[in-house]
Amino acid sequence: MHIGALRTHWTEAWAALGIAPPAGLFERLCAAYAEPQRHYHTQQHLAECLAGFARERQQARHPAEVALALFFHDAIYDLQASDNEARSADWAREALQAAGVPHDAAGRVHALVMATRHEAQPADADAQLLVDIDLSILGAPAARFAEYEQQIRREYAHVPRDVFEPRRKLILGRFLARDPIYQTAGVRARCEGNARRNLRAAVGD
């Protein structure tokens, strides 16, 4: 997805809220997704998420909020930190409130970003959709999934292989243990089968 397409999603989300996009914020977010420590959590991932959301947009209760949450969900990505989602969510809420977005809407965006911690499957419908979109890479075609795994390994190149591989298998195994992996019908129909095949191969199940 070209940067122009990302900008289109951005301006459409703000237009749906009836608020002008804050000057410079789109550029700051794009710069964040282009940071050198990133190999998967990049503009490519953001573009894939927004393309997935475009297919499922009609399922969202607050589509503009879901779109903006996707823009912010990996805005902070510090490989040495454990609070990236919280810091990204805080940035989203502060930026939206400063732009004039109502507090309840900004709060919902904050909660959506926090759902991408993937600690539990959410109960809120918009959060379910956003999380499914974020995890749709697990159900990508085998070649893209393999590329994704390589990209994640490059992000964690500083972690020794004998430490990284067991931890990675544990994380992927937790997703495989979910039944179903995806909570929304559209993403489940498109991704569940591939995700189970990819994850079984990755964890050696």
Q: Give pLDDT tens digits for 65-110.
A: 999 999 999 999 999 999 999 999 999 999 999 999 999 999 999 9
Gyration radius of the chain's alpha carbons? 17
Angle in degrees, CA 160, 169, 43, rounded to 5: 80
Domains in the chain, number: 1
Which residues constitute the domain of residue 132?
Answer: 3-203
CATH number of the structural domain spanning residue 157: 1.10.3210
**Both structure tokens of 4:** 């122009």
Q: Give pLDDT tens digits for 11-59.
A: 999 999 999 999 999 999 999 999 999 999 999 999 999 999 999 999 9
Q: How far apart are CA 125 and CA 112, in angstroms?
A: 10
Residue 169 has pLDDT above 80, yes or no: yes
Residue 143 has pLDDT above 70, yes or no: yes
Fill in the amino acid letter for 186.
Answer: G
Please give the pLDDT value at position 2.
74
- Cα–Cα distance list, 70 to 1, 10, 65, 127 (Å): 15, 10, 9, 11
| Mean pLDDT to the nearest integer, 140-152 | 98
Q: How confident is the model at residue 118 (pLDDT cuts 50, 70, 90)?
A: very high
Please give the pLDDT value at position 111.
98
Q: How confident is the model at residue 120 (pLDDT cuts 50, 70, 90)?
A: confident
Above pLDDT 90, what percent of the chain?
Answer: 96
User: Residue 56: which residues within 8 A CB-CB, separation 6 or more?
Assistant: 129, 132, 133, 184, 186, 187
Q: How many CB atoms lie within 10 A of CB 18?
A: 9
For the chain, the 3-state helix, strand and coil shares in percent, each to the nearest 5, are 70, 0, 30
Give the predicted TM-score (pTM) of the model: 0.96
Q: Is 92 exposed, middle or buried (0-12, 13-18, 19+ CB in 10 A)?
A: buried
DSSP 74-128: TS---TT-S-HHHHHHHHHHHHHHHTT--HHHHHHHHHHHHHTT-SS--SSHHHH
